[in-house]
Structure formats: C-alpha cells, structure tokens
Structure 1
Amino acid sequence: MDDSEVPLSRHGGPKDAAATLAQENLERYSLDELAQRIALLEAEIARVKSHRDKAAAHRLAAEAFFRPKGGGGDQA
C-alpha cells in the first residue's frame, strides 16, 4: 500500500489506527494469527457499518422532522 492509499482524517492527516494497521508488516504473523486478525478486522468493519447506518437513519429522521410541511415553497 503506498502513501496515497492510507486513510486520511477530516483534517488531512493520517488516521492513527487505520494508518498504523495499513502500514504494519504482516510477515511476522502465523496463519492462525492472520486468521484471528482478519476476524477482528471484519468484526470492526461490521461495527463501523452499523454505526454508519444508525447515523444515516438519524440524519434522515432529522431531515424529515425539519422539512417544511406542505404549503408551497419550492414546488414547481
């Protein structure tokens, strides 16, 4: 993975955990350790996706709540 593929934070710098994992040398890990690492990373990906989905649902609910109700405005 080259530097252009390292995840960046909102502020333009590398993300601590993701950047560290992306640059870590995997040669020292056994097959079992790699399998465990993959399982942990897949669980973390699932956790992040779940949080993203909850955040998206929260945003949609907020947008629906604050959306103007009927009565003209932007209707063509």
Structure 2
Amino acid sequence: MDIDENLPRRRDDPVANLVTHDIDTLSVAELDARIALLKAEIIRCEGKIAFASTHRSVADALFKK
C-alpha cells in the first residue's frame, strides 16, 4: 500500500482525470488511439525510470566511500 494513497489528489491530476474519464462514448478508433497514446506514455515513463536509475548508480559510485 502506497503511503500517499489516502491523500486527496489534486483536482487537475492527469492520472485521476484519465481513469475517471467515461470511455463508453468513445469509438473503437478513438479507443485504439487512446491505447496507442498510453503505450507511448508507458515507454516514455520506463525510459525516465531507466535514466533515473542509471543516474543514481553513477552518483552512488561517484560519492561512494
């Protein structure tokens, strides 16, 4: 369980807006486009995680006692 899970989200939180958006009104093409966009965002996030992990490892090695 995330420690921040019980904290209220900001009103403009994009993730909250994304998951509460009604998808029943979207066409198949719109859903396909949404999935493609979400997959691209996942790849972007994974790249950021990889960069941050590498950056942290370099910093740890640099400041290692």
Shorter-chain TM-score range: 0.7 to 0.9
TM-score by length of 2: 0.82
SS at match of 1:25: coil
What residue in structure 1 maps to residue 39 of structure 2? 42
- Offset at residue 32 of structure 1 (A): 0.7
> What's the % identity of the aligned pairs?
36
How many residues are paired up? Answer: 59
TM-score by length of 1: 0.71
Where does structure 1 lack aligned partners over 5 or more consecutive residues? 1-7, 69-76
Where does structure 2 lack aligned partners over 5 or more consecutive residues? none
CA distance in 2, matches of 1:13, 1:43: 27
Residue 65 (structure 1) aligned with residue 32 (structure 2): no
- Offset at residue 14 of structure 1 (A): 2.1
With CA pairs under 8 Å and 6+ residues apart, which has the higher RCO, 1 or 2?
Answer: 1
The structure whose Rg is larger is: 1
Measured on the aligned residues, the alpha-carbon RMSD in Å equals 1.7
